[in-house]
Copies of this chain bind each other. A is one copy, B any other.
Amino acid sequence: MPEDDPAVPRWRRRKEERPREIVDAALTVFGERGFAAARLEDVAAQAGVSKGTLYLYFPNKEELFKAVVREAILPNLDMAERLLAGAQGPSFAVLETLLTLFATRILKSRAGAIPKLIIAEAGNFPDLARFYYEEVIRRAFALLAAVLERGMARGEFRPVDVDSTVRLIVAPMLMSALWRSSFEALEGRPPDVAALLAAHLDALRRTLAPEGGPPS
């Protein structure tokens, strides 16, 4: 049993992984109940530690939530930004990749619950809202704006109002995430995200196409 290997004592490894385990448990519990209704006792139980231990790593519930957002969303944003930075091909392909990534990686993971969390609690926890706005939304919007600018500069896209178009691009994805959190349990069949994504990409292709021909 490798746990007994004195060179890599188990408790040592655990101590260093505790924060991640707690954040992971918190994502699960926050996703199920929402921030306000989530009980730290449940988070602790889910993480396999005691309530008091949470406070050794996070000063309070709000900071724990911020850590959840950081851990679950920011790596994906980083990846998306690297993807754009290294993009060689047509801009619509970049857009397609980004939206597909969102639909497959975020929406299907437990991180898909985060938008709902933010929407729900922004009013009562302005700090949370500001944090998310600065760290996530601004960056995500800037990223999409950059794709649009690139496409327009390369003549792949017709000229559009960037700010509005960014919102048009994001909205169906956001709606899918919220839908999952709120109504999926009520419906027999889960909504067909793939169909929505296809329809959305089709609509975007037509919308962004320069007058002469298709963008991609």
Contact = CB atoms under 8 A, between A and B. Distances in A.
A34 B137 CA distance: 22
Nearest to A185: B126
Interface stretch (A16-24, A62-70, A99-107, A201-209): A201-209
A202 B165 CA distance: 11
Contact of A34 (B118, B123, B129): B123
A130 B200 contact: no
A5 B13 CA distance: 37
A10 interface: no
User: In the complex this chain forms, how many copies of it are found?
Assistant: 4
Contact of A120 (B34, B196, B200): B34
A195 to B, nearest CB: 5
Interface string A149-179: 0000000000011011101101110111010
Interface of A: 32-34, 36-37, 116, 118-124, 126, 129-130, 133, 137, 160-161, 163-165, 167-168, 170-172, 174-176, 178, 181-183, 185-186, 191-192, 195-196, 198-200, 202-204, 206-207, 209
26 contacts: A32-B123, A34-B124, A119-B181, A119-B182, A122-B181, A122-B183, A123-B181, A126-B185, A129-B182, A130-B186, A133-B186, A160-B199, A164-B192, A164-B196, A164-B198, A164-B200, A168-B172, A168-B200, A171-B171, A171-B172, A174-B175, A175-B175, A203-B206, A206-B206, A206-B207, A207-B207
